[in-house]
């Protein structure tokens, strides 16, 4: 497809039957596109089709009549102009590998997944490029609770790609009266921001469980941003991306609402629940748990100072008592507030 704006209906698939896949698919169908949502479980697909509701992940939301739900991957993606991949990072590569032979050259592949691949430290756009050939790749990330999107709360997100025409098409496909899409050419920065903010949502959820107030939340969010920008710079991303919607926007959202699964994991652990039990209790993906391990290892390797990452790692994986970790954090060196300057 060479057009830059989706002026006529396109064929679009969304892979993943979870909350975000469903929210995105419903917007696209609402904009009049031929929309197919793929979920691997035939019984869940049949239930969603019959009830016109995803009772498993987004109960109470009426699915748009133009949204076709299938468990047949080939049926879902054949002839599609765009494929959104909304699968947790743990299974992302496996699903992309399965779908790759079914795609036509030039298909736009958009990841909505905010995670990092275990072991490889690859981001989802890396996986899209590695597992397919001749496709156009983008990343969607921003302050976007699926539940609030489908309830019609005014929302904005970011499409990141070096392919300007792809960005324009995705803006057109997703734009609605309540949903806006900004663009960025910094794929790595936008994707890294989406993965990193999950760590700090666990931290602020834990602080809430410990009875800490607004001063503490503000302290944590602001110092989290400093850490994220330091890490981004060390990894070669543009730190300025982190002051946009996909960075500080998503950080504020995820660190201040119990709609966030990561925040809720932190809250439960802060209340004394073992991590595995907290994750099981949430019952949906909380990407931040795996991301903490990966970022701690990478920060150590690169020598990047990330005291909040070290602290949450110590609590979740080193069995260090929370009061002791907080005491260490509060007695660390008091350095500069803002480390970046617009001055040359
Ligand atoms: N929920 C949100 O508000 C939201 C917002 C923005 C981005 N995201 C991101 O989107 C991604 C997906 O999140 P979600 O909220 O939809 O997750 P979810 O936990 O609600 O659903 C995940 C879906 O993926 C499916 N899945 C898991 N492994 C699979 C496999 N091997 N093959 C096929 N399907 C598989 C599950 O069955 C489920 O339908 C996450 O990385 C998340 O960070 C979520
Ligand atoms: O529920 P979480 O913590 O995965 O957060 C969902 C989205 O990433 C918020 O933008």
Tell me which of 13, 14, 15, 16 to substitute to probe ligand 1's pocket, judged by most ligand atoms within 8 Å of the beta carbon: 16
* Other residues' Cβ atoms within 10 Å of the Cβ of residue 314: 18
Q: Is residue 241 part of a domain?
A: yes
- Which pLDDT value is given to residue 341? 64
Please list every protein residue whose CB sits less than 6 Å from any atom of ligand 1.
16-21, 39-40, 57, 86-89, 91, 94-95, 112-115, 144-146, 284-285, 287
Are 167 and 28 within one domain? yes
Are 105 and 128 within one domain? yes
DSSP string of 177-189, one letter each residue: SSEEEEEES-HHH
3-state secondary structure 118-167: CCCCCEHHHHHHHHCCCCEEEEEECCCCHHHHHCCCCEEEEEECCCHHHH
Are 178 and 196 within one domain? no
326 contact partners, CB below 8 Å, separation of at least 6: 311
- Which pLDDT value is given to residue 192? 98
Ligand 2 mean position to 219 CA, how many Å? Answer: 20
Of the listed ligands, the closest to the CA of 148 is: 1
Are 223 and 86 within one domain? no
Q: Is residue 141 part of a domain?
A: yes
Rounded Cα distance between 184 and 192, Å, is 13
Taking Cα atoms as reference points, which of 226, 138, 235, 225 lies closest to residue 181? Answer: 138
Q: Is residue 340 part of a domain?
A: no
Taking Cα atoms as reference points, which of 287, 182, 148, 304 lies closest to residue 239? Answer: 304
CATH of the domain at 266: 1.10.1040.10
Q: Are 255 and 204 in contact (CB under 8 A)?
A: yes
pLDDT in tens, the chain (344 residues): 444 445 689 999 999 999 999 999 999 999 999 999 999 999 999 999 999 999 999 999 999 999 999 999 999 999 999 999 999 999 999 999 999 999 999 999 999 999 999 989 999 999 999 999 999 999 999 999 999 999 999 999 999 999 999 999 999 999 999 999 999 999 999 999 999 999 999 999 999 999 999 999 999 999 999 999 999 999 999 999 999 999 999 999 999 999 999 999 999 999 999 999 999 999 988 999 999 999 999 999 999 999 999 999 999 999 999 999 999 999 998 989 987 765 65
Residues annotated as part of the active site? 197
Q: Is residue 279 part of a domain?
A: yes
Q: What is the dihedral of CA 126, 130, 134, 137, to 10 degrees?
A: -20
Last residue of some domain: 185, 207, 225? 185
Last residue of some domain: 149, 166, 185? 185
CATH of the domain at 42: 3.40.50.720
Of the listed ligands, the closest to the CA of 113 is: 1
Q: Is residue 110 part of a domain?
A: yes
Q: What is the CA radius of gyration of the chain?
A: 20
Domain that holds residue 162: 11-185
- Taking CA atoms only, the protein residue closest to ligand 1 atom 21 is 18
Are 199 and 131 within one domain? no
Last residue of some domain: 185, 216, 241? 185
Are 36 and 143 within one domain? yes
Strands 136-141 and 155-160: antiparallel
Q: Is residue 4 part of a domain?
A: no
Are 173 and 244 within one domain? no
Rounded Cα distance between 96 and 131, Å, is 7
Rounded Cα distance between 91 and 96, Å, is 9
Prediction ipTM score: 0.98
CA distances from 221 to 71, 170, 179, 217, 285 (A): 40, 30, 25, 6, 22
Q: Is residue 218 part of a domain?
A: yes
Ligand 1 mean position to 115 CA, how many Å? Answer: 11
Rounded Cα distance between 209 and 192, Å, is 27
SS3 content of the chain, % helix, strand, coil (to 5): 50, 10, 35
- Which pLDDT value is given to residue 163? 98
Q: Is residue 28 part of a domain?
A: yes
- Which pLDDT value is given to residue 2? 40
93 sits in which H/E element: helix 89-99
Are 164 and 216 within one domain? no
- Which pLDDT value is given to residue 339? 79
Ligand 1 mean position to 334 CA, how many Å? Answer: 39
Give the count of domains, the chain. Answer: 2
Are 245 and 293 within one domain? yes
Q: Are 183 and 158 in contact (CB under 8 A)?
A: yes
Are 313 and 197 within one domain? yes
Burial 206-221 (b: 16+ CB within 10 A, else e): bbbbeebeeeebeebb
- Which pLDDT value is given to residue 67? 97
Ligand 2 mean position to 288 CA, how many Å? Answer: 9
- Which pLDDT value is given to residue 8? 86
- Which pLDDT value is given to residue 194? 98
Are 29 and 108 within one domain? yes
Known binding residues for NADPH: 19-20, 40, 57, 114, 146, 261, 285, 287
Are 264 and 289 within one domain? yes
Tell me which of 17, 20, 131 to substitute to probe ligand 1's pocket, judged by most ligand atoms within 8 Å of the beta carbon: 20
Ligand 1 mean position to 279 CA, how many Å? Answer: 14
Q: Are 26 and 48 in contact (CB under 8 A)?
A: no
CA distances from 74 to 26, 107, 221, 255, 336 (A): 20, 14, 43, 38, 55
Tell me which of 24, 250, 251 to substitute to probe ligand 2's pocket, judged by most ligand atoms within 8 Å of the beta carbon: 250
- Which pLDDT value is given to residue 335? 87
Known binding residues: 19-20, 40, 57, 114, 142, 146, 197, 250, 260-262, 285, 287
């Amino acid at each position: 497809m060479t057009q830059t704006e989706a002026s006529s209906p396109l064929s679009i698939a969304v892979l993943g039957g979870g909350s975000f896949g469903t929210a995105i698919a419903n917007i696209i169908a609402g904009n009049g596109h031929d929309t197919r949502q793929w979920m691997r479980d035939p019984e869940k697909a049949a239930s969603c089709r019959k009830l016109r509701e995803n009772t498993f992940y987004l109960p109470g939301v009426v699915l748009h009549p133009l949204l076709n739900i299938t468990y047949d991957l080939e049926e879902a993606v054949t002839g599609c102009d765009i494929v959104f991949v909304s699968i947790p990072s743990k299974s992302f590569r496996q699903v992309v590998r399965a779908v790759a032979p079914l795609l036509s050259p030039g298909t736009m592949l958009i990841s909505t997944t905010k995670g990092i691949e275990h072991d490889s430290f690859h981001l989802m756009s890396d996986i899209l490029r590695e597992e397919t050939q001749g496709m156009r790749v983008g990343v969607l990330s921003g302050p976007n609770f699926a539940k609030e999107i489908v309830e019609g709360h005014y929302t904005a997100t970011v499409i990141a790609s070096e392919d300007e025409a792809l960005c324009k098409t995705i803006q057109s496909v997703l734009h609605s009266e309540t949903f806006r899409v900004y663009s960025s050419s910094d794929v790595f920065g936008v994707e890294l921001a989406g993965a990193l903010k999950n760590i700090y949502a666990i931290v602020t959820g834990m602080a809430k469980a410990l009875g800490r107030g607004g001063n503490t939340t503000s302290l944590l969010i602001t110092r989290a941003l400093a850490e994220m920008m330091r890490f981004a710079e060390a990894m070669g991303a543009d730190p300025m991306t982190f002051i946009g919607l996909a960075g500080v926007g998503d950080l504020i959202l995820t660190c201040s609402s119990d709609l966030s699964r990561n925040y809720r994991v932190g809250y439960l652990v802060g209340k004394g629940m073992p991590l595995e039990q907290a994750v099981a209790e949430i019952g949906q993906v909380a990407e931040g748990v795996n991301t903490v391990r990966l970022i701690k290892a990478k920060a150590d390797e690169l020598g990047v100072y990330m005291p909040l990452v070290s602290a949450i790692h110590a609590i979740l994986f080193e069995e260090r008592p929370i009061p002791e970790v907080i005491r260490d954090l509060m007695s660390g060196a008091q350095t500069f507030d803002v480390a970046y300057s617009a001055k040359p």
